């Protein structure tokens, strides 16, 4: 494990001068349990933060440059105010730039800064490690400059800063989960109303298991963009027949009434979104009533919809979900992330975890990939911490069905 405080002071030659203040911040990864494939700008999300983190150490410099150090991989980058734009060669360092730009846009004087970061959020399985980097850095700068800003504005401005640098649209929900999450709670976010509701988790005696299928996802982003376009086309067709501004304003019956005017592909995508909205509402009701059997059915139906209507699953992912579904005591299993491989989550009673892992032992023989299992808990939001008394976990520890392996994180890119 890496001692980020000691590493930061040594890296920037302040290890002997304890009068130089260092700000420490951490930000969690996140899971979207439902709603991730909904309407891009006005959807519903049922999400939570998980206890895998990005850790950041920050101190001021005497000059005006920005120095970035990725402790996991012992790699350095640098920039200036003029260089706060996307540069392919900066790779991981690009994800530290939006936070700096955010406070410059707010009118604050941001002089030279030293950054050190490390983390244990697995990449490329849909836990938003890139958002966690941005949020941890922003939280550290916010503390250093003593900036007073409410959480919703903070999330929105950080999202806008990301889009300005990267030139792509991202979900506000990702940032809100990192900035507003509470331990052992789900977050219901209605992006059409900018409304956030915290829902207490009834899963005290359960475990949250993530299974990385290890399936290569070539072309997944292009396919995902195609489905988002279909969703928007479906909404346009619906609005021609019924009054409404978003899918939340429609029901399945509205879709059935105009089905003749829908191309089949758009009909399937639209039906998934409309029914997912209802599933999210029902899932929150089940959580509040601690009706775990009902919640499990909703989660399984959502995965079936992703498989049959939205069409972003694959045989490997379906197999993993099916193994969980066979276990009485599992409270739901579903793919998460952009699909076409990637990761599943399973909520299962703690005494059944070994049985669940045993049922995955045939996966590698059947599909040729060795699945990697992560056990996580629902965590709290990004926060400032004192210099860690215990070393942050900055190497990713993973479990395969046949043992434990370790791997280094953040070698190339971060995961959205």
Q: How many CA atoms lie within 13 A of 20 on its CB side?
A: 19
d(CA 289, CA 287): 5
**DSSP 8-state code for residue 388:** P
Q: Report strand pairing: 113-119 vs 66-70.
A: parallel
Task: Residue 19: count other Cβ atoms within 10 Å of its Cβ.
Answer: 5
pLDDT of residue 124: 83
Collapsing DSSP to helix, strand or coil, 413 comes out as coil
Q: Where are the domains of the chain?
A: 4-209+377-407
Task: Please choose, from the candidates 286, 83, 46, 260, the residue with its C-alpha nearest in 3D space to the C-alpha of residue 165.
Answer: 83
Question: Is 184:202 a contact under the CB 8 Å cutoff?
Answer: no
d(CA 218, CA 314): 13
Task: Please choose, from the candidates 46, 48, 37, 43, the residue with its C-alpha nearest in 3D space to the C-alpha of residue 306.
Answer: 37
Task: Please choose, from the candidates 298, 308, 278, 311, the residue with its C-alpha nearest in 3D space to the C-alpha of residue 347.
Answer: 298
**Sequence-separated (6 or more) residues with CB below 8 Å from residue 172:** 155, 156, 159, 189, 191, 194
Collapsing DSSP to helix, strand or coil, 316 comes out as helix
**Alpha carbon 191 to chain centroid, angstroms:** 16
Residues belonging to the active site: 174
Q: What is the DSSP string of 182-225?
A: -TTEEEEEETTTTEEEEEE---TTEEEEEEE-----TTHHHHHH
d(CA 215, CA 265): 25
Rounded to a whole number, what is the distance in angstroms from the first to the last CA of the chain?
24
Q: How many CA atoms lie within 13 A of 183 on its CB side?
A: 4
SS3 content of the chain, % helix, strand, coil (to 5): 40, 25, 35
**Which residues are bridge partners to 277 per DSSP?**
none
Q: What would the two tokens of residue 367 be?
A: 């599909």
- Output the CA–CA distances (angstroms, integers) from residue 220 to 59, 143, 170, in the order listed: 39, 38, 16
Our CA angle for 146, 147, 148, nearest 5°, is: 115
d(CA 98, CA 310): 32
Collapsing DSSP to helix, strand or coil, 167 comes out as coil
**Alpha carbon 331 to chain centroid, angstroms:** 21
Dihedral sign (CA 110, 116, 122, 124): positive
**Alpha carbon 114 to chain centroid, angstroms:** 26
pLDDT of residue 246: 81
- Residue-by-residue pLDDT tens, the chain, 416 positions: 568 988 999 999 986 666 788 999 999 999 999 999 888 677 899 999 999 999 999 999 999 999 999 999 999 999 999 999 999 999 999 999 999 999 999 999 999 999 999 999 998 888 999 999 999 999 999 999 999 999 999 999 999 999 999 999 899 999 999 999 999 999 999 988 889 999 999 999 999 999 999 998 877 888 888 999 999 998 888 887 777 778 887 766 666 666 567 888 998 998 899 899 999 999 999 999 999 999 999 999 999 999 999 999 999 999 999 999 999 989 999 999 888 999 999 999 999 999 999 999 999 999 999 999 999 999 999 999 976 555 566 654 445 554 544 444 454 444 65
Question: Using only C-alpha atoms, what is the Rg of the chain?
Answer: 22
Check: CATH 3.30.390.50 for 4-209+377-407?
A: no
pLDDT of residue 1: 59
Collapsing DSSP to helix, strand or coil, 363 comes out as helix
d(CA 135, CA 98): 9
Question: Is 353:236 a contact under the CB 8 Å cutoff?
Answer: no
């Amino acid at each position: 494990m890496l001692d980020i405080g000691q590493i930061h002071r040594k890296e920037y030659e302040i290890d002997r001068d304890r009068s130089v203040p260092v700000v420490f911040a951490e930000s969690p990864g996140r899971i979207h349990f439902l709603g991730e494939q909904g309407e891009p700008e006005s959807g519903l999300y049922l999400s939570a933060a998980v206890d895998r983190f990005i850790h950041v150490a920050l101190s001021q410099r005497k000059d005006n440059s920005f120095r970035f150090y990725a402790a996991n991989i012992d790699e350095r980058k640098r920039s200036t105010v003029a260089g706060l734009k996307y540069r392919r060669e900066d790779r991981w360092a690009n994800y530290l730039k939006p936070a700096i730009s955010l406070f410059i846009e707010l009118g604050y004087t941001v002089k030279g800064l030293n950054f050190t970061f490390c983390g244990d959020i697995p990449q490329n399985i849909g836990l938003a490690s890139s958002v966690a980097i941005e949020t941890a850095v922003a939280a550290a700068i916010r503390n250093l400059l003593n900036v007073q800003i409410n959480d919703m504005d903070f999330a929105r401005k950080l999202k806008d800063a990301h889009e300005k640098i990267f030139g792509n649209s991202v979900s506000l929900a990702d940032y809100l989960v990192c900035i507003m999450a509470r331990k052992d709670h789900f977050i219901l976010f209605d992006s059409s109303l900018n409304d956030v509701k915290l829902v207490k988790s009834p899963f005290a005696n359960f475990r949250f298991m993530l299974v990385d299928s290890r399936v290569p996802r070539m072309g997944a982003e292009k396919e995902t963009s195609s489905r988002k376009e279909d969703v928007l086309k479906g909404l346009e067709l619906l609005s021609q027949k019924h009054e409404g501004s978003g899918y939340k304003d429609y029901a399945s019956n509205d879709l059935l009434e105009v089905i003749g005017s829908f191309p089949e592909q758009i009909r399937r995508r639209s039906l998934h979104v409309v029914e997912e909205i209802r599933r999210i509402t029902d899932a929150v009701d089940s959580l509040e009533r601690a009706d775990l059997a009902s919640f499990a059915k909703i989660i399984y139906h959502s995965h079936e919809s992703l498989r049959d209507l939205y069409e972003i699953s694959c045989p490997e992912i379906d197999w993993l979900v099916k193994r969980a579904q066979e276990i009485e005591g599992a409270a739901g299993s579903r793919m998460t992330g952009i699909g076409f491989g990637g990761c599943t989550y399973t909520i299962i009673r703690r005494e059944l975890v070994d049985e669940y892992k045993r049922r995955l032992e045939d996966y590698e023989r059947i599909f040729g990939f060795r699945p990697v299992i992560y056990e996580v808990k629902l965590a709290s939001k990004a926060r400032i911490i004192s210099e860690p008394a215990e070393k942050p976990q900055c190497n990713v520890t993973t479990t395969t069905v046949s043992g434990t392996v370790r791997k280094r994180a953040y070698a190339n890119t971060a995961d959205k």
